[in-house]
A and B are shown apart, each in its own frame.
Chain A
Amino acid sequence: MLEKVSFLLLSFTLAEQLCKPGDPDGYKVRLSIKTALGENAYVWNDNEMFLFRATLAFAMTKQFDGQQFEVSDIIVCNQTARVSFWFVVTYPHNKTLVDKQVVERAVRKSRNRINSAFLLSDTTLEFIGIPPTLATPVNPSTPTWLIVFGVVMGAVCAGIIVVLVVSLVQRKRKKNETNEDTQVKTVENGAARDGVYYMSFSEDESSVTQM
């Protein structure tokens, strides 16, 4: 009985010694629950801590694919009121610390799942030293602005063509009218010696625009 107690105490203190703030193989985690959830914020307690350790064990197991990590392999220390703490990960069979890079890869792989477990996001659940992988920017094949540009440019060019065609047609029509007028005028010039020709008294009504 005594051996069991002393063994437990030993493993406990060993675990405590493994986890130190500033440990080269450990990471600091910071949660901003009130910022993320406001009124729906849950209180951080031991249950939540257990969930964290379990989620991290899940992430490590997923990364390693053969070894089964247990909750006891995730050791946490130095909890503060901010809700920040340090953690280290040990291998399930020999209790040596897992390398920093390995932990980083595991966290990165399952970051989304860890975030969702706590209803938080990359900015409110921070692993200090593991920058979040940002989403790929959506690049449509044709930039949106080019489409709008095309529409406006098309409309304006159509407007110009319409105006040009209309004025061209009007000019042709006017030229036809003045051709008829000049025919009448030459008659006038020829008859100048005979008298003054007043176009308004001309009987040729068809050349005058009907009112």
Chain B
Amino acid sequence: MEKGARPNWDNPMQFLLACISYAVGLGNVWRFPYLCQMHGGGGFLIPYLLMLFLEGMPLFYLELAIGQRMRLGSIGAWTAISPYLGGVGLAGVVTSLYLCLYYNIINAWSFWYLFHSFQSALPWADCPINSNRTGPVEECEMATPTQYFFYRETLDISSSIEENGDIHTGQALCLLLAWVITYLFIIRGIKSTGKVVYFTATFPYVVLFIYLIRGITLHGAINGVKYMFTPKMEQLANPTTWINAATQIFFSLGLGFGSLIAFASYNQYNNNIEFQAIIVSLINSGTSIFASFVTFAIYGFKATINYENCLERTRLLLLNAFNLAEDSVTIDSVFEWIEKLNTTYPQQFDIIANKLENCDLESELNTAVEGTGLAFIVYSEAIKYMPLPQLWSVLYFIMLLLLGLGSMLGNITAIITPLQDFKVASRMSNELFSGLVCLFCLLLGLGFTTSSGNYWFTMFNDYGATLSLLVVVLIEVITVSYIYGIKRFEKDIEDMLGHRPNWYWKIMWAGTSPLLLIVLLISYIINYIQGGAPTYQAWNIELVSVGFISSPL
């Protein structure tokens, strides 16, 4: 190997798995099921799959083609297309940097939960006892044990973004571990990444499959699955549904960061990216649907358990208040007894009326959650009710870790590859340069381990990448279609693959995808303006609940 020759993937399978590992990430598990629930269950698949063909696949193919043709990272590739467009690549690198800063915190949380699963009783199963040993800690009693574990023991969260506390040592250690593992995976560039992706791309599917079998055999899982898949077709008339479908496809595939360009730049010149682009996009969407099936089975189980616990508490309340024999009121007859007692002893009933909870299965299922709340609170609550919860907890958090680390690989490569194209960085060895980037991100990322860290995380997550990615990809597709020219691009692809892209690709690149992106951009801006002062959810220590606070920005 000559000094300075570009490294290659060992085989096309490594590249394919790297793309899958990058694209299939946490969003497939915690964002898609939420959207599915919000926008009419099974009916949401229609706009979702349509958008996949209208914008997902064409844009994915576009980025891969650019990377493979130019054989440079995003900055170099765009500069080669036109010297004025180097900024597009730079924007991608900066966005990837933002993402790298905050994304590894999620992996740190996954590590924290994973390590805490090696106990006989899961720490989020019960409330810890207060110092007097008279009962559970008050904050935990008012919330739920899973919420308490997440907000107090994992995050040690403050009440607002202005109140910065100390760095949570446990979190900092887990973040350090996350970065050390990331460094190990990218230490030799794609030579090491290529071997790691065999595991990070495939093992999550093993876990998802195991969870699917476990999930559908759980008590009450069928409630959740039925609830999710019952299509509510009237949601299709709502334009937000279509916008959300398009946005989800766009962000789920990881376009615009430059990761795809970076990965593809290590390909052999005539690697068949057309076929691979189709495969990866289909696998990504398929995984979302598969994961939401599992998620809803788990939802159904959790909702049924909560509903039955509610009924049990009501039953006890009735028994204790009216001193009835234990077997007179059963769980099934709770509602009849409420009616009976209300009519026969109205005064006595009034005394307990305010303690009576409203047990409703529908409303339990209706609590749609997304994001970290779903992954760390809802799922861990469901896991603690399963038999042998430690095993399921370990499996689940390993899956989250692999999904998160797989996406991190792509984002870190998106930073390192373009910078290494510059002679300044290439004088350093790969290992040293990668180490410096990881160290830099680790030090800045420590800010997310403070008490207000979760609020900063939310801010980065909601605003750090969304607008810039839309703009970057819009410029990318317009450049390739009109400035570089579709004809020249066609010839390049023919040169690489041996055949020209057919009319479907050309129409999407030149027409549909740019139009869709413009619509998304406009709707994002409108939403932003109409939203008024941005708000964020904060943990209110007095009320022990999550409420909305206006952002100080």
Contacts and interface: CB of A to CB of B under 8 A. Distances in A.
Interface in A130-185: 131, 133-134, 136-137, 144-146, 148-149, 152-153, 156-157, 159-160, 163-164, 167, 171
A83 B320 CA distance: 10
Contacts of B125: none
B196 to A, nearest CB: 11
B214 interface: no
Given A34-B327, A82-B320, A160 B115 contact: no
A152 B129 CA distance: 30
A134 B326 contact: no
A84 interface: yes
A157 B180 contact: yes
Given A156-B181, A160-B184, A163-B184, A144 B118 contact: yes
Interface string A61-88: 0000000000000000000111110000
A144 B120 CA distance: 10
B37 to A, nearest CB: 33
A134 B184 contact: no
B134 A131 contact: yes
Interface in B33-70: none
B348 to A, nearest CB: 13
Nearest to B130: A134
Nearest to A178: B3
A84 B180 contact: no
Contact of A145 (B115, B129, B176, B323): B115
Contacts of A156: 177, 180-181, 184
Interface residues of A, number: 30
B324 interface: yes
Nearest to B315: A35
A33 interface: yes
Contacts of B326: 32-35, 82-83
B174 A149 contact: yes
Interface in A24-38: 30, 32-35
A211 to B, nearest CB: 16
B135 A134 contact: yes
B116 interface: yes
Nearest to A151: B115
Contacts of A159: 184
Contacts of A84: 320, 323
Interface string B163-202: 0000000100110110011011001100010000000000
Nearest to A136: B133
Contacts of A145: 112, 115-116, 118, 170
Contacts of A134: 129, 133-135
A83 B183 CA distance: 65
Q: Chain B contact residues (Cβ within 8 angstroms of A): what range?
A: 20 to 34
Contacts of B319: 82
Interface in B115-159: 115-116, 118-119, 128-129, 133-135
B325 A148 contact: no
A160 B431 CA distance: 10
A145 B118 CA distance: 7
Nearest to B3: A178
Contacts of A149: 111, 115, 173-174, 177
B177 A153 contact: yes
Nearest to A157: B180
Given A32-B326, A133-B133, A134-B135, A164 B187 contact: yes
A133 B324 CA distance: 28
B32 to A, nearest CB: 30
Contact of B323 (A82, A167, A171): A82
Contacts of B184: 156, 159-160, 163
Interface in A1-55: 30, 32-35
Interface in B299-333: 319-320, 323-328
B323 A81 contact: yes
Contacts of A157: 180
Contacts of B327: 34
Interface string B84-116: 000000000000000000000000000110111
B324 A82 contact: yes
Contacts of A81: 323-325, 328
A198 B134 CA distance: 89
A182 B188 CA distance: 27
B177 A82 contact: no
B323 A80 contact: yes
Contacts of B320: 30, 82, 84
B148 to A, nearest CB: 15
B187 A163 contact: yes
Given A34-B326, A149-B177, A153-B177, A144 B183 contact: no
A136 B131 CA distance: 10
Contacts of A137: 128-129
A84 B323 CA distance: 7
A101 to B, nearest CB: 16
B361 to A, nearest CB: 23
Contacts of A30: 320
Chain B CB within 10 Å, residue with most, of A33, A157, A159: A159
A35 B330 CA distance: 11
A146 B173 CA distance: 10
A140 B177 CA distance: 23
Interface in B324-350: 324-328
B129 A160 contact: no
Nearest to B325: A81
A81 B325 CA distance: 5
Nearest to A80: B323
A80 B319 CA distance: 11
Contacts of B170: 145
Contacts of A160: 180, 183-184, 187
Chain B CB within 10 Å, residue with most, of A33, A84, A164: A164
A156 B438 CA distance: 15
Contacts of A32: 326
A156 B185 CA distance: 10
Contacts of B188: 163, 167
Nearest to A137: B129
B220 to A, nearest CB: 22
A164 to B, nearest CB: 6
Interface of B: 111-112, 114-116, 118-119, 128-129, 133-135, 170, 173-174, 176-177, 180-181, 183-184, 187-188, 192, 319-320, 323-328, 429, 431
Given A137-B129, A145-B170, A160-B187, 4 more contacts: A133-B133, A136-B133, A145-B116, A171-B429
Which 4 pairs across A and B sit closest by C-beta, in order of nearness? A80-B323, A145-B115, A81-B325, A82-B323
6 contacts: A81-B328, A83-B325, A134-B135, A148-B118, A160-B180, A160-B184
